[in-house]
């Protein structure tokens, strides 16, 4: 079973996506289909031994839709050996945007051509209405005849040129029984046009039966004009929802300078292989992930870290695709290429999330699948209702006129576009906004579930803390300077590979102290190290080493700090203790505020760690975490989550290590720190690029904001139809004299779609 994503051409509404899904699901070998109206993509899981893209296309082409491989050309010119590298994806997305811009330009031209006709028609309709109320003078015979012959010509252009997609939708409905938005608009405007045409052609013979003065050419013109305008504004707005992907794609480069056989050669990015040596010059974007093997520079990693200050990179440091070299040239060896790069994975994660479907969408899908047929039935019932019941009170001629107005109004106002756009537009904007904040959301289900969270569990190391020991305290008991003290200690630790040694050496580096290796170096297992510096023998190690040397140590004072999670390193000679430094895994600066903000949101917190109870309690107390579960194994973390879930809590787990993967997989929502392991990131539904724990607060606010936007969209989409359809049928006419003109129905339909997309775009301006 394989899963591919395809571009879909010809979609206009929620009914279109429903028709495509139902059609493809009937193909033998297809397991699942998800179609996204906004991104115009279909994600299909199928058995490649039973079916393929050609089978899908054959089924859809007769319905007016076509499939292309995501990001590539038409099906007919594509073979199965297409490259799936990032460059192809970038080119494909650029081509898709170009196609959408070209389509937008064509729509704009049609709108510009028909709007003057619509304004003219509205003017005539207004004049006619004012005449009936005795406000405006009667039209002269010449003017009346001119308009009488001009309107059919204008309506013909409106219906058969600008309204061609709706006619084709109507034809497909009669041929295949598949209805969508085009069917509704096509049926309504065609009926209005044909009725008017028959009246015009057989005016005198029909005069004795019906009111031949009522024709609806103007309705055909204005309805199509408003719908065309609405679709244009909707398409224009929809393009803006995908800005996040476009900006990420722009970070990808097309070529790179590679050293081949001692010579520099510029190659397309898709030809870069593992192990290739790549030269990066100042101002250039880094094309793939790798490790620097020659030279050094400062690299702008704002894309990954969000920090505007470039970071120094030397031999052995990693660089990632999409970041920018700022000062000097260097050479690095490619370690991750194509879809393996961090940037490619980020783009794929964002795109998958934007194409995914939130659980709340299931309700919309069910409604959309039956909506169009139900609307057609309601429209027909309203027509026949007027003819049967209305004739008794109004006469056949007036009843027929009102029936046709109601029939067209119902079909026009009930278009399900707004309903289909309500969820995907908000999801796309929400996921895109998250990506800009360094919050990568894997799917819409995760985004929806996150806002329900009432209990968050944190791993300690690398999540609450930085995950790297730091020198956090120094007590100098001798008469030497602190600088000399650190110089001696760093000399002893210079040849050790222990993490504590690295913390001491890092501190020396920040203090601009050169760490010269001590002579006669020796590791004393379980105790520490010894060596000579400046002609004196020194020891550096734990308290037990001092005890072994017969030195007096203030254990009470050291134990107080040890209970806070700090590890003492004693510097001594055989005769005296020179001093003590404290090394600890430091708490992330944003952790305390993040926990407070979560409490303000009404969310409980717990820390799960394999560390010692005293250390865990001290850290939890400092940052304000509610509960602590220490000295636990990976399986214990998973069991704790299950226990909380059984109590009815919606649990989010935040972690960064391989040992967190089982817990991340079990949690309702899983969050991985971007500086963590690949296994944790793969298991998580959300990834924070910069390992910034404060992002959890923003992610929850983003989730709540997005789901709130979806609910607002659905409310407006439903309310338009709940109010508009009954009004259009004419049920209020006997009591209030209200009857909806198809022109206003078209305007309302267009406004509903635009307002839904506009409300989703409004999420971009909200702070999280």
Residue 25 half-sphere exposure toward CB, CA atoms < 13 A: 10
Provide the edge-to-edge strand list for the sheet that holds 277-280.
Answer: 263-268, 255-260, 277-280, 330-336, 289-295, 318-319
Q: Over the range 384-397, which residues count as b (16 or more CB within 10 Å of their CB) and which as e?
A: ebbeeebeeebeeb
Q: Which residue is associated with the tokens 């904007």?
A: 429
Euclidean distance between CA atoms 87 and 71, whole angstroms: 10
Residue 554 token pair: 């203030």
How many residues in the chain?
768
Q: Closest Cα partner for 671 from 649, 642, 693, 646?
A: 693
Euclidean distance between CA atoms 735 and 192, whole angstroms: 26
Q: Which residue is associated with the tokens 């899963």?
A: 3
Euclidean distance between CA atoms 283 and 268, whole angstroms: 19
Residue 87 token pair: 């460059």
| 512 exposure class (CB count in 10 Å sphere: 0-12, 13-18, 19+) | exposed
- Between the alpha carbon of residue 171 and those of residues 175, 178, 187, the distances in Å are 6, 10, 9
Q: What are phi and psi of 540, to 5 degrees?
A: -135, 120
Residue 423 token pair: 């969820």
First to last CA, the chain: 40
Q: What are phi and psi of 687, to 5 degrees?
A: -125, 135
The answer to whether the CB of 121 falls within 8 A of the CB of 221 is yes
The answer to whether the CB of 402 falls within 8 A of the CB of 733 is yes
Q: Closest Cα partner for 578 from 546, 555, 556?
A: 546
Q: Closest Cα partner for 24 from 13, 39, 3, 12?
A: 3
For helices 181-201 and 14-25, what crossing angle results, to 10°? Answer: 120
- Between the alpha carbon of residue 626 and those of residues 136, 457, 604, 608, the distances in Å are 76, 10, 7, 11
The answer to whether the CB of 406 falls within 8 A of the CB of 382 is yes
Residue 425 token pair: 């537009």
Euclidean distance between CA atoms 438 and 454, whole angstroms: 23
Query: Nearest 5 degrees, angle CA 84-CA 86-CA 89?
Result: 70
Euclidean distance between CA atoms 422 and 19, whole angstroms: 18
DSSP string, 441-508: E--HHHHHHHTT--EEEEEIIIIIEEEEEEEEEEEE-SSS-HHHHHHHHHHHHTT---HHHHHHHHHH
Euclidean distance between CA atoms 297 and 295, whole angstroms: 7
Euclidean distance between CA atoms 392 and 414, whole angstroms: 28
Query: 10 Å Cβ neighbour count for 719?
Result: 12
459 is catalytic: yes
Q: What share of the chain is helix, strand, coil (3-state, %, to 5)?
A: 55, 20, 25
Annotated active-site residue in 70, 289, 443, 459: 459
Q: Which residue is associated with the tokens 């370690």?
A: 335
Catalytic residue IDs? 459
């Amino acid at each position: 079973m394989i899963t591919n994503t395809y571009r879909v051409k010809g979609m206009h509404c929620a009914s279109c996506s429903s028709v495509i899904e139902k059609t493809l699901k009937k193909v033998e070998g297809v397991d699942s289909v998800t179609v996204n109206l906004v991104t115009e993509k279909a994600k299909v899981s199928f058995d490649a031994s039973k079916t393929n893209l050609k089978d899908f296309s054959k089924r859809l082409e007769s319905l007016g839709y076509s499939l292309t491989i995501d990001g590539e050309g038409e099906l007919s010119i594509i073979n199965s050996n297409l490259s799936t590298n990032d460059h192809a994806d970038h080119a494909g997305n650029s081509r898709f945007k170009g196609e959408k811009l070209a389509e937008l330009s064509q729509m704009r031209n049609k709108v510009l051509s028909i709007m003057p006709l619509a304004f003219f028609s509205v003017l005539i309709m207004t004049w006619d209405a004012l005449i009936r109320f005795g406000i405006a003078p009667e039209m002269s015979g010449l003017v009346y005849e001119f308009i009488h012959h001009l309107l059919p010509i204008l309506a013909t252009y409106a219906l058969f040129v600008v309204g061609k997609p709706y006619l084709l939708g109507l034809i497909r409905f009669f041929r295949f029984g598949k209805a969508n938005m085009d069917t509704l608009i096509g049926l309504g405007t065609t009926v209005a046009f044909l009725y008017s045409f028959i009246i015009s052609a057989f005016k005198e013979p029909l005069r004795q039966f019906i009111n031949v003065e009522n024709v609806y050419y103007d309705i055909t013109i204005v309805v199509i004009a408003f719908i065309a305008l609405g679709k244009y504004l909707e398409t224009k707005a929809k393009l803006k929802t995908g800005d996040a992907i476009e900006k990420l794609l722009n970070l990808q480069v097309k070529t790179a300078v590679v050293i081949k056989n001692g010579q520099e050669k510029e190659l397309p990015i898709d030809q870069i292989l593992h192990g290739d040596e790549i030269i990066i010059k100042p101002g250039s974007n880094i094309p793939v992930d790798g490790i620097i093997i020659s030279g050094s520079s400062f690299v702008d990693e704002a894309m990954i870290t969000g920090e505007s200050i470039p970071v120094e990179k030397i031999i052995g440091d990693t660089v990632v695709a999409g970041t920018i070299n700022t000062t000097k040239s260097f050479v690095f060896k490619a370690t991750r290429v194509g879809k393996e790069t961090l940037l490619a994975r980020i783009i794929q994660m964002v795109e998958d999330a934007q194409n995914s479907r939130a659980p709340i969408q299931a309700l919309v899908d069910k409604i959309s699948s039956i909506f169009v047929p139900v609307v057609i039935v309601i429209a027909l019932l309203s027509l026949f209702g007027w003819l049967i019941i209305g004739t008794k009170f109004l006469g056949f001629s007036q009843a027929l006129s009102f029936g046709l107005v109601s029939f067209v109004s119902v079909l026009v106002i009930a278009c399900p576009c707004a309903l289909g756009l309500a969820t995907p537009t908000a999801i796309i904007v929400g996921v895109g906004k998250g990506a800009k904040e360094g919050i990568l959301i894997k799917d819409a289900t995760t985004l929806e579930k996150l806002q329900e969270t009432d209990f968050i569990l944190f791993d300690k190391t690398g999540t609450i803390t930085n995950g790297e020991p730091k020198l956090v305290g120094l007590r100098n008991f001798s008469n030497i300077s602190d600088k000399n003290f650190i110089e001696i200690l760093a000399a002893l630790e210079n040849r050790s590979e222990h993490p504590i040694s690295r913390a001491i050496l890092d501190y020396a580096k920040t203090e601009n102290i050169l760490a010269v290796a001590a002579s006669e170096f020796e590791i004393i297992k379980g105790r520490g190290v010894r060596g000579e510096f400046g002609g004196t023998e020194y020891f550096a190690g734990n308290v037990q080493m001092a005890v072994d040397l017969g030195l007096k140590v203030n254990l009470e004072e050291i134990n107080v700090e040890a209970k806070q999670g700090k590890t003492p390193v004693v510097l001594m000679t055989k005769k005296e203790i020179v001093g003590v430094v404290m090394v600890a895994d430091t708490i992330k600066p944003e952790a305390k505020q993040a926990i407070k903000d979560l409490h303000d949101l009404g969310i409980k917190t717990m820390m799960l760690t394999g560390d010692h109870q005293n250390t865990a309690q001290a850290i939890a107390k400092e940052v304000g975490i509610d509960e602590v579960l220490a000295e636990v194994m990976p399986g214990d973390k998973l069991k704790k989550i299950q226990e909380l879930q059984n109590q009815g809590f919606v649990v989010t787990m935040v972690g960064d290590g391989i040992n967190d993967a089982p817990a991340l997989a079990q949690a309702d929502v899983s969050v991985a720190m971007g500086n963590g392991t690949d296994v944790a990131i793969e298991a998580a539904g959300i990834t924070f690029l910069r390992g910034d724990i404060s992002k959890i607060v923003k992610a929850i606010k983003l989730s709540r904001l997005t789901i709130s936007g979806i609910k607002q969209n659905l409310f407006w989409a439903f309310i338009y139809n709940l109010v508009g359809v009954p009004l259009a049928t004419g049920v209020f006419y006997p009591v209030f004299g209200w009857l909806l003109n198809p022109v206003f129905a078209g305007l309302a339909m267009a406004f509903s779609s635009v307002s839904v997309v506009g409300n989703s775009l409004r999420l971009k301006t909200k702070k999280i």
